[in-house]
């Protein structure tokens, strides 16, 4: 039975900025009760105040999702305050850019610990609650990279592919309780502070490759899943096109992604090596957006989106013509 977003108790990890903060706002505007988790306690309190002003109830619980005990405590605090958990949004995540050979092992491991084990910890905390309740919705943020991969992001791509597999396995395990749903969202490039916060061993400045979508678009999708759960949802037109073309012409898309996305996310100007927010949060004051929808990200048809559509279709047409000749 679908949930009403306005009556839901919703736990959101990674709630201090970006998609998590936008999603907290979207649920709060519908009167939901929110339990907000992130490492940055000060920004988390800001989000809680914003949610209350928007009409929701909010509890801030500083949490590092790599620590399973802290995630268990997060679930306990939610139950103590609101008596149940209806939606759990596994959203906290980190990224790293750079060639596989250049990314240190501790950085690689930290990405997996956060993006995969952080979600495992969330599921371990909430799935027993859902079992007892007989209902609940677990939503995992896997990224479009969990379908397509991306050069210079081996650790991130690995974590996101794993999240999709983890969610599918959980989905099969709860077939005996139809009131429990496991959903996966796959956003395309979103205008959040993610690219400012990512670790970087590429020696180039990291940027968001257009087209760039708003975090509010993702937030509305998450809210919609509370009312109508679905297994997987791709967010963003370019992502939907890319996933379709990956099915039609997987080899062609591998070559296109390997070229276009490499240049799309890495600028020509240099950048020093940094571990970003992997081990320590960054207090840069960026709340929801990262400022990537300015200038060339607005207006017109972006080169990357055009390439994703035109080049594979052109190559398919050429191959068919050669076979028929």
Q: Are 170 and 184 in contact (CB under 8 A)?
A: no
pLDDT single digits (tens) 287-299: 999 999 864 444 3
User: What's the predicted TM-score (pTM) here?
Assistant: 0.90
Known catalytic residue at 119: no
Tell me how far apart the 2 most distant CA atoms of the chain are, in Å: 71
pLDDT single digits (tens) 183-230: 999 999 999 999 999 999 999 999 999 999 999 999 999 999 999 999
Q: Give me the domain span that covers residue 257.
A: 5-324
Q: Which of 143, 166, 190, 13 is nearest to 89 (CA)?
A: 13
Query: In this structure, is the dihedral angle defined by the CA atoms of residues 275, 197, 148 and 316, taken in order, positive or negative?
Result: negative
User: Can you tell me whether residue 321 is helix, strand or coil?
Assistant: helix
CA 9 to chain centre: 20
Q: What is the CATH number of the domain that holds 105?
A: 3.40.50.720
Q: Which H or E run contains 13?
A: strand 9-13
pLDDT in tens, the chain (325 residues): 445 655 899 999 999 999 999 999 999 999 999 999 999 999 999 999 999 999 999 999 999 999 999 999 999 999 999 999 999 999 999 999 999 999 999 999 999 999 999 999 999 999 999 999 999 999 999 999 999 999 999 999 999 999 999 999 999 999 999 999 999 999 999 999 999 999 999 999 999 999 999 999 999 999 999 999 999 999 999 999 999 999 999 999 999 888 877 778 999 999 999 999 999 999 888 899 999 986 444 433 444 554 544 455 445 544 554 555 4
Domain count, the chain: 1
Using DSSP bridges, classify how beta strands 204-206 and 266-270 pair: parallel, antiparallel or unpaired. Answer: antiparallel
Task: Catalytic residue, from 119, 156, 213, 263: name it.
Answer: 156
Please provide the DSSP assignment of 236-300 as one string: SHHHHHHHHHHHH-HHHHHHHIIIIIHHHHEEEEE---B-TTSSS-------S--S-SSGGGSSS
How many Cβ atoms from other residues are within 10 Å of residue 251's Cβ? 10
Q: Which of 130, 298, 135, 158 is nearest to 214 (CA)?
A: 298
List, in sequence order, every residue forming a beta bridge with 181; answer none if it has no partner. Answer: 137
CA 68 to chain centre: 20
Q: Which of 193, 195, 204 is nearest to 102 (CA)?
A: 204
Taking the C-alpha atoms of residue 261 and residue 176, their distance in angstroms, rounded to an integer, is: 41
């Amino acid at each position: 039975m679908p949930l009403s977003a306005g009556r839901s108790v919703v736990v959101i990890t990674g709630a201090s900025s970006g998609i998590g903060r936008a999603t907290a706002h979207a649920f709060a505007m519908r009167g939901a009760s929110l339990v907000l988790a992130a490492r940055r306690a000060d920004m988390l309190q800001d989000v809680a105040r914003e949610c209350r002003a928007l009409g929701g109830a909010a509890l801030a619980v500083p949490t590092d999702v790599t620590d399973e005990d802290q995630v268990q405590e997060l679930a306990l605090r939610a139950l103590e305050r609101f008596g149940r958990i209806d939606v759990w949004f596994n959203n906290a995540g980190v990224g790293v850019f750079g060639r596989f050979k250049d990314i240190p092992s501790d950085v690689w491991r930290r990405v997996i610990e956060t993006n995969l084990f952080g979600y495992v910890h969330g599921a371990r905390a909430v799935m027993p609650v859902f079992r007892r309740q007989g209902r609940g919705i677990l939503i995992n943020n896997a990224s479009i990279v969990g379908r397509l991969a991306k050069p210079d992001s081996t650790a991130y791509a690995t974590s996101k592919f794993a999240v999709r597999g983890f969610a599918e396995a959980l989905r099969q395990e709860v077939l005996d309780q139809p009131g429990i749903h496991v959903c996966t969202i796959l956003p395309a490039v979103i205008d959040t502070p993610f690219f400012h916060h990512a670790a970087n061993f590429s020696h180039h400045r990291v940027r968001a490759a257009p087209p760039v979508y708003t975090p509010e678009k993702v937030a509305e999708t998450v809210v919609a899943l509370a009312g109508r759960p679905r297994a997987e949802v791709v967010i963003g037109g370019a992502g939907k096109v890319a996933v379709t073309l990956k099915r039609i012409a997987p080899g062609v898309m591998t070559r296109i992604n390997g070229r276009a996305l490499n240049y799309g996310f890495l600028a020509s100007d240099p950048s020093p090596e940094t571990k970003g927010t992997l081990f320590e949060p960054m207090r840069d004051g960026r709340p929801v957006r990262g400022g990537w929808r300015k200038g060339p990200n607005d207006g017109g048809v972006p080169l990357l989106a055009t390439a994703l559509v035109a080049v594979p279709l052109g190559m398919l047409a050429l191959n068919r013509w050669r076979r028929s000749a």
